[in-house]
């Protein structure tokens, strides 16, 4: 019975880590777009992310900043940052030299060996969702046309594992929201463990 309890607790802890721990992604580019109207915006590298001149009749949802109603001369940054919530950051420069920055928050909803599933974070101002394909380092943005038709933008990215700071004096752990999230998961796991122990003693 003790072994069984140990397995249950370990499973709870591992499931919490699966939700909280992954990598950052940078230098993303539109490797593939499922909607044929946008095939001309597929690219082979981040350096080729330029000349996105949209026709408003083909405008998709405006929340991402990848394909939009305004013309983009070049993309300065497309990255996905591990935080809580996580953020997709898109920085563009238009034909007049003006720089525009967009930051969309996402919350993880499900995790598996090969994928991470996200929905828009609360109060983030958008309704998008995305899927991270772990093995390929691809972020799949779930999009919609104005007609309501669904399609996907597959961003190929450079994976950047999160670096752990060695200098404890310079590390302010209390300022990292991820710490509070992990503490909460630990507390929930302990409560579940206590409940199981109580039920076993009650049966005896």
Q: Is the pTM of this model over 0.75?
A: no
Q: Return the residue matching tokens 């996402």.
A: 106
Provide the residue range defining the domain that includes 123: 24-160
In 3D, which of 79, 53, 60 has the Cα closest to residue 128? 60
Verify that 98 and 183 share a domain, yes or no.
no
Are residues 42 and 138 located together in one domain of the fold? yes
User: Angle, to 10 degrees, between the axis of helix 177-203 and the axis of helix 2-20?
Assistant: 160
Same domain for 7 and 61? no
What total number of domains does the chain contain?
Answer: 2
> How far apart (Å, rounded) are the C-alpha atoms in residues 204 and 79?
55
Which tens digit of pLDDT belongs to each residue from 142-190?
988 878 888 999 999 999 877 654 544 444 444 455 566 668 777 887 7
How confident is the model over 52-93, as pLDDT tens digits?
A: 887 655 555 554 578 877 789 999 999 999 988 899 999 999
The reply to whether 71 and 59 lie within a common domain is yes
CA distance 42 to 71: 16
Mean pLDDT, the chain, whole residue set: 79
Is a pLDDT exceeding 90 seen at residue 25?
A: yes
pLDDT value of position 84: 81
Nearest to 70 by CA among 87, 52, 91: 52
Identify the pLDDT of residue 13: 41
């Amino acid at each position: 019975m003790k072994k069984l309890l140990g397995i249950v607790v370990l499973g709870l802890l591992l499931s919490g880590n699966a939700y909280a721990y992954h990598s950052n992604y940078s230098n993303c580019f539109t490797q593939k777009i499922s909607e044929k109207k946008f095939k001309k915006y597929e690219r082979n590298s981040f350096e080729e992310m330029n000349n996105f001149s949209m026709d408003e009749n083909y405008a998709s949802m405006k929340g991402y900043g990848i394909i939009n109603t305004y013309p983009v001369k070049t993309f300065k940054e497309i990255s996905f940052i591990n935080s809580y919530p996580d953020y997709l950051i898109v920085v563009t420069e238009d034909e007049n030299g003006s720089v525009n920055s967009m930051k969309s928050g996402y919350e993880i909803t499900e995790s598996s060996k090969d994928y991470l599933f996200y929905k828009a974070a609360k109060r983030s101002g958008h309704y998008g969702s995305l899927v991270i394909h772990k093995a390929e380092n691809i972020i799949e943005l779930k999009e919609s046309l104005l007609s309501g038709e669904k399609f996907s933008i597959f961003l190929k990215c450079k994976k950047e594992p999160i670096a752990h700071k060695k200098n404890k004096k310079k590390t302010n752990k209390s300022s990292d929201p991820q710490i509070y999230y992990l503490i909460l998961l630990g507390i929930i796991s302990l409560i579940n463990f206590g409940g199981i122990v109580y039920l076993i003693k009650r049966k005896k």
